[in-house]
Each structure stands twice: as structure tokens, then as C-alpha cells.
Structure 1
Amino acid sequence: MPPTSARPLRADAERTVRAILDAAERVLSENPNATLEQIAEAAGVARTTVHRRFASREELLRTMAVNAWRRIDAAVDAARPETAPPMVALHQATANVIEIKYGAAYALDRADETDPEVADLQARVLAKCDAALAHAQSDGLIAPDADLLWVRRVYLALITETVHGTPALDGTTNPDILATRLITTLLSGVAPK
């Protein structure tokens, strides 16, 4: 993804930006004090290339966060929450989000929620989550009297714990397996009695 304030980039420039963002996620996850020069080295580009694409370290971090939230927004859409059966959509969206969060944990943990673009993307994702949970409730997967705001909070907490918690006992980080476990845990607690 190109920097958020830039006009569309050529394909080679977009690949360079993607390499910088990926390298920044890896390097900063290991060393939050890493320099732009260290990020450039990990991305296989010159330091001047990073400075040309990102005016400052803050702009790089902002772009990382916005990019991660854009990917989450697209991943939720890819699960087809409006048209797929609720259980299928919930599973696919969960697996997609877990996979993105594993690869963008540093950026997402440091996202400035007061940034208008980040806030807008977060609001869009939460609205889609609420709609998917309401669809699951109307389909009988969630008890009719369950508080969907609470269900969403628990669901998001389970995703966070899945990504940031201790590794799975069997060592798996397979998003489909983790999504199945997470949804089973969620629905066992909110299924109709």
C-alpha cells in the first residue's frame, strides 16, 4: 500500500513501499528503537528511499497502522458477512483477521486511535463485526437475549488473546485452527440455552 497521503504509485514503487512496511514491522517488533537506517537495510533499500517515501518515523508508523487497518477491513469484506452463512462468515473473518494481526502486531498495537483515518477504519470494521454478530444472532447461533456489544467485546478480546497470548499448547498458529477454537469458545458461552 502506498503511503496514506500520497497519490497512487507505480507498481515498482508500491513494491518498494510494501517491502519497507514489511521490514519495519519485523525490525520494530524485535527492536522498537530501531532506526530508519536499520529498517532500510532490512528492506533492501537505501536509507534515502525510506526518507523519500516517509517524511518521518511517525509517518512510517502511521502508514503501517493505516495499512494494517485497511487490510483488516478488506479481510472482513472478503469473508462476505452480508451474504455468506453466519458461521462461515464469522469463521473466515476471524481467520483472516488473526492472520493479519500476527503479521502486523507492532503496527496495530501502536496505532493512534485519534488519527481520523485510523478511527474511520476501526469504526467501519466494528460496524461490520456488529452486523455479522447480529446476523449470527438472528440465525440462532447466539442467544436472542445476548447483549451483542458484550459479545463483540468478548470476541475481540479472544482475538487479542489468540494473537498476543501465550502460544497455543500444540504450537499451531494456523489461522483456521485458531479461528475454530476461538469461535467454539465464543459460541459455547453465548449459545441459546
Structure 2
Amino acid sequence: MKVLRVKSAFGFALGQPVEPGSAVAQTWEGITTHRLDLLAAARDGGLLDPAVDLDWVRRVYYALIGEALHSPGDDPDALATKVLDTLLHGLGPR
């Protein structure tokens, strides 16, 4: 999954303050809208609980990516798998 490869190059962006109304804020709003649409499709497709709070899932997803960025040298594809497995299945036994 290329998202971790792209995000790792721009990891600083995840923690930077954004000026309301700026071009950066508008870009983040577009990313948030797109991400929520993607998560809604995952929910509607049965991958997420129908009652899940999609904004919470989005924030958890970003947190997982942020944690993956703290694993320099790890295989990006393995990290992407960990992120998605954790997001979709949690940490309990399977």
C-alpha cells in the first residue's frame, strides 16, 4: 500500500498547525471529506460496524499511520498491512 510511502515522506504534515481558511486548511478539508467518503463506503460494504463513528475511525487511522511512521526501516507494505489489520480487526484474537 503506497499510502505509507507517501505519508512517510510528509510525516511532518500530520502534526503541523493549520491556519483556518488557508490553502492548506482547504486541502486538509478535501482530504478529510475524501477519507470520510472512503470509510463510509467501507462501512456500507460491511467492513466496518454500521454504527461506527466515521470521524473517530478517521482519526484512529491517522494515529495508526503516525505510529507506523515511527518504525523507520520497517517494510512499508508490512506496516500498511499492520495499519489496516489493526483498523479493521482491532487487537483481539482472530
Asked if these proteins are the same fold (TM beyond 0.5), I'd say yes
**2:6 counterpart letter in structure 1:** I
1:110 positional shift: 6.3
TM-score normalised over the length of structure 1: 0.42
- Structure 2 counterpart of 1:151, from 53, 57, 65: 57
- Structure 2 counterpart of 1:138, from 32, 44, 51: 44
Q: 4+ residue runs of structure 1 moved beyond 3 angstroms? A: 109-112
Any gaps of 5 or more consecutive residues in structure 2? Answer: none
Contact residue 112 and residue 118 of structure 1 kept, 8 A = no
**CA–CA distance in structure 1, aligned partners of residues 31 and 75 of structure 2:** 23
- Structure 2 counterpart of 1:113, from 6, 11, 18: 18
TM-score normalised over the length of structure 2: 0.80
Residue 172 and residue 110 in structure 1: after superposition, are their counterparts in 2 closer, same or farther (change >3 A)?
Answer: closer
What secondary structure is seen at the aligned counterpart in 2 of 1:140? coil
**1:103 counterpart letter in structure 2:** A
**CA–CA distance in structure 2, aligned partners of residues 182 and 109 of structure 1:** 16
Any gaps of 5 or more consecutive residues in structure 1? Answer: 1-94
Query: Per-residue displacement from partner, 1:102-123 (whole Å, max 9, x unpaired)?
Result: 22234x2564410611000101
**1:114 counterpart letter in structure 2:** E
| Higher relative contact order, chain-length normalized (CA < 8 Å, sep 6+) | 2
Query: Per-residue displacement from partner, 1:121-165 (whole Å, max 9, x unpaired)?
Result: 1010010100000000000000111111111111111011111x2
Rg larger in structure: 1
Contact residue 42 and residue 48 of structure 2 kept, 8 A = yes
Residue 173 and residue 153 in structure 1: after superposition, are their counterparts in 2 closer, same or farther (change >3 A)?
Answer: same
**CA–CA distance in structure 2, aligned partners of residues 102 and 150 of structure 1:** 22
- Equivalence for 2:84: 183
**1:187 counterpart letter in structure 2:** L
Percent identity over paired residues: 35
Query: Per-residue displacement from partner, 1:53-97 (whole Å, max 9, x unpaired)?
Result: xxxxxxxxxxxxxxxxxxxxxxxxxxxxxxxxxxxxxxxxxx333
Paired positions, count: 89
Contact residue 111 and residue 118 of structure 1 kept, 8 A = no
What secondary structure is seen at the aligned counterpart in 1 of 2:43? helix
